[in-house]
Amino acid sequence: MPLNLDCDLVGHPTFTFSLSKEAQVFASEILDDTFSLKLSIDLGPEGGHLASLHGPPDLVELFSTLQLQVRCDIVADGYNVLDQDALDTPEVSSESRGKLLEALDLCDGDRVLDLMCGSGTTSQVLLEYAEESAIGISLSMCDTHYSQLRRIDPKVREGAVDITLGDARALPYETESFDVVLLKMGLHEVPQLDQPLVMREVFRILKKGGRFIIWQLLPTTGVWQDVFTDIVRKTSMLARCESQAFNRYFPRDDQLTWLFKNAGFAEYEQIFKVDFSYSTRARLDAELAGDSSKLEILNNFARDRAPQEVRDSALWRDTGEDILLKVPACIYRTYKPL
**Inter-residue contact 153 to 120 (CB < 8 Å):** yes
Which of 28-32, 94-98, 161-165, 275-279 bottoms out in mean pLDDT, i.e. has the lowest? 28-32
Between 189 and 31, the higher pLDDT residue: 189
pLDDT, one tens digit per residue, over 320-337 is 999 999 999 999 999 999
Q: How confident is the model at residue 286 (pLDDT cuts 50, 70, 90)?
A: confident
Q: For the chain, what's the residue count?
A: 338
What is the residue-averaged pLDDT of the chain? 83
Q: SS3 sequence, 142-186? A: EECCHHHHCCCCHHHHHHCCEEEECCCCCCCCCCCCEEEEEEECC
CA distance 276 to 315: 10
Predicted local confidence at residue 96, as pLDDT: 86
Predicted local confidence at residue 82, as pLDDT: 56
Between 82 and 285, the higher pLDDT residue: 285
Q: Determine the average pLDDT of the residues in 182-200.
A: 93
Predicted local confidence at residue 307, as pLDDT: 95
Predicted local confidence at residue 43, as pLDDT: 57
CA distance 169 to 199: 8
Predicted local confidence at residue 122, as pLDDT: 93
